Structure 1
Amino acid sequence: MPEVTPVPLARLTTLRTGAAPARMYEARTVDELVDALRGIWDDGDDWFVVGGGSNLLVGDEPFDGSVVRILTEGITPVAGAPDGHQRLRVQAGQNWDELVAYAVDHGLAGITAMSGIPGSAGAAPVQNVGAYGQEIVQTLVEVELLDEDTGEVSTVPAAELELGFRTSVLKAHYGSEPRRRAVIVSLTLELAEWGDAAHTVAGSQLRAALGLSPDDAVTLRWVRDQILTIRARKGMVLDAADPDTYSAGSFFQNAVVPASFARTLPAECPRWPVAPDPAPDRVIPLEDYAGLSPMPSTPEPDVKVSSAWLIEHSGFGKGFKLPRSRAGLSTKHALALTNRGGATAGELAELARYIRIRVHSEFGLMLQPEPVLVGVEL
């Protein structure tokens, strides 16, 4: 197996925390990845994988187990797409933003709004990454999964991952285990062929972010450039010279709540309806029709509310820090917890706990962390 000398995880994670684990492996090929994980599972060792390290808060005590770095790369066009679309098979360790750049360079639409998101492609389906109304569930066809239970690699349709708002059966939500313990080896996306021509942009959330009307036509390159500019203004594009980017992106998820609860929040709190599944069509045979009948009730859609607004209106301004702490909110974006220089995981967790308690006290909502926490409690 490709075992290497362990290095501090603070060097491999964008939050810059974590001691060196007991054991570390680097997998640069699919065979190395499969062999390393099978060996670890056979030994019964505790484990986790690291791709880009952008969605991890790792504790200060050494992890007494094995860490596997997924360093596989590659983007390959594959057959199977309908007319006007192209399928790409992407290795799990492929840098996500390089994948988006590849798609834009080849005139392929569907993931452009996710430009600038740090991390690896294999991590994207785990929490159904998204931005400005685009999510990977919209383009994901299938993944190759290495299951811990069987040790085998199988091709799994996207529907079996149960992708939802920042979730899937593969994600270890805070305080719980994933419903399926497996590692993504590769993923296949199906993207629309836009070419270099200008097109109108679907999705009101993306148009609003870009300042477009429904009739405005723009190129993929223009959209990518604008998204990168927006994310950079928020400190969401990695920059070694900017401590605001020493983060895991949005630390807390925008909360999805019942509409009845959303009505208890101040009207000024930004919110977006989460459309329910449409009611099924009813077909009544003519011989059975006996006049008008009541229509089935349509469930009231859940509502996604802005956690950044809740944080700021609980008394936390951008740049907030606890006394003597080296952790703080980004000076550009209230959802990002940042390492201002030498902060421990304990300092970041202390700030996160304080924010959660205050928001809960003010609005009755317990914010959920988005990153995976290893050896850390909130």
Structure 2
Amino acid sequence: MTTLAELTTLRVGGEVASLVTAETEAELVDAVRTADEAGTPVLVLGGGSNVLASDDPFPGVVVRDGRRGIQIRESSACGGADVVIPAGEVWDDVVVRAVAEGWSGVEALSGIPGSVGATPVQNVGAYGQEVGDTLAFVRTWDRGAGAIRTFARAQLELGYRTSILKRTFTVPDDSGRTWGPTPRYVVLEVGLQLPLADRSQPVRYAELARTLDVPVGTRVASSEVREAVLGLRRGKGMVLDAADHDTWSAGSFFTNPVLDAGASAALPADAPRFPIGDTGLVKSSAAWLISHAGFERGHGLPGPAAVSTKHSLALTNRGGARAADIVALAREVRDGVARTFGVVLEPEPVLVGLTL
């Protein structure tokens, strides 16, 4: 029998009662609708790179989106590349195609594991770019209404690692229901609008600019940005490698905390602070807080679960961990940061059958 450990990058999780691989949109919608009508839990799973699943059996249906391909609806110097991508497509394959075709705007998102459908849910971002920068629309199956619903970018309420799609996990909708472990809106297709350019978008991230040896704001060849980003990610254990237990993770386990003025002022003077526009809010660094709360890289070794030896924001399976081991480590880190700095870190992965 298939287990969620086999389907996720953390490589933990119990047996799956039923597994469906959908090769068409109709099959995907039918599998989700049938489960919902029967009152059966449903987990729509892409690459499994942002999931922490319980050791207990999952008592429902896991639906995998097997659709692949990129549809180019337009490509012109004026309009750019207008592309539509099924949710099941591998995200990094899209970036490879974009760099090869001269579609600018996603090159800094190289090496991010998982599927296209997951990217708008938490507005995936890295090294100064977010998928929302080029997002045109998201076409979804609305489980609540039992109908197709398309969201224009402005309707998605995108923010730092959030969207209206993600909020349906925890925020009650107009019927008073919260949804999970699959959001109310199941992503079917993602539309991107990508400028045609030989060069990247301006490099915004200081670490990436230093790696490329250029000033922040410089445009360079998109292929150079991709290679630099892949190098940085490999150095942090953020490019999947079956032989490297530092990559047996869900990537960054905690989101960077967004703080009000009071909480920000209470942090040590040298803590990172990044103002968020004119909101009065400040984003700090979860990695900095974790390491300065005493959880250094490798914390937990030689146990089955440990902080990555390459990056303090990743919690890793050292080869024999169970979900309970990852949860125990996550609680230890979260509670230690809260005691030290008064900041409660929020987990980034989708939690299936468990809580922190």
- Report the alpha carbon displacement of residue 150 of structure 1 after superposing the two structures with TM: 2.4
Q: Which one of 307, 312, 317 corresponds to residue 329 of structure 1?
A: 307
Corresponding residue number in structure 2 for 1:247: 249
CA contact (8 A) 2:105 2:201 kept: no
| Aligned residue type for 2:204 | G
**1:197-245: CA deviation from partner (whole Å, max 9, x where unpaired):** x467242545356442147542000110000000000000000110000
Q: Which one of 354, 361, 370 corresponds to residue 332 of structure 2?
A: 354
1:19 equivalenced with 2:14 (yes/no): yes
Q: Which one of 327, 344, 350 corresponds to residue 366 of structure 1?
A: 344
CA contact (8 A) 1:21 1:66 kept: yes
- Report the alpha carbon displacement of residue 98 of structure 1 after superposing the two structures with TM: 0.5
CA contact (8 A) 1:57 1:372 kept: yes
| Aligned residue type for 2:283 | K
In structure 1, C-alpha distance between the alignment counterparts of 2:308 and 2:81, rounded to whole Å: 38
TM-score normalised to structure 1 length? 0.87
- Report the alpha carbon displacement of residue 82 of structure 1 after superposing the two structures with TM: 7.8
1:201 equivalenced with 2:202 (yes/no): yes
| Aligned residue type for 1:139 | T
SS at match of 1:108: coil
- Report the alpha carbon displacement of residue 99 of structure 1 after superposing the two structures with TM: 0.6
**1:125-158: CA deviation from partner (whole Å, max 9, x where unpaired):** 0000000121111111101110112222232212
- Report the alpha carbon displacement of residue 160 of structure 1 after superposing the two structures with TM: 1.6
Percent of counterpart pairs with the same letter? 46
1:315 equivalenced with 2:310 (yes/no): no
Corresponding residue number in structure 2 for 1:377: 355
In structure 1, C-alpha distance between the alignment counterparts of 2:151 and 2:170, rounded to whole Å: 26
CA contact (8 A) 2:105 2:200 kept: no
CA contact (8 A) 1:81 1:190 kept: no
SS at match of 1:193: coil
- Report the alpha carbon displacement of residue 260 of structure 1 after superposing the two structures with TM: 3.1
| Aligned residue type for 1:117 | I
Corresponding residue number in structure 2 for 1:287: none
Q: Which one of 70, 79, 87 corresponds to residue 65 of structure 2?
A: 70
In structure 2, C-alpha distance between the alignment counterparts of 1:54 and 1:344, rounded to whole Å: 16
**1:67-96: CA deviation from partner (whole Å, max 9, x where unpaired):** 111111111111498815211101100000
Structure 1 unaligned regions, length at least 5: 1-5, 277-298
**1:279-333: CA deviation from partner (whole Å, max 9, x where unpaired):** xxxxxxxxxxxxxxxxxxxx5x3111011010001111101007x7300000000
CA gap 1:137/1:73 in 2 versus in 1, 3 angstroms: same
In structure 1, C-alpha distance between the alignment counterparts of 2:77 and 2:57, rounded to whole Å: 49
In structure 2, C-alpha distance between the alignment counterparts of 1:325 and 1:215, rounded to whole Å: 43
Query: How many residues in Structure 1 have an aligned counterpart in Structure 2?
Result: 347
In structure 1, C-alpha distance between the alignment counterparts of 2:203 and 2:315, rounded to whole Å: 31
In structure 2, C-alpha distance between the alignment counterparts of 1:199 and 1:163, rounded to whole Å: 23
SS at match of 1:347: helix
Corresponding residue number in structure 2 for 1:164: 159
TM-score normalised to structure 2 length? 0.92
Cα RMSD between the aligned structures?
2.1
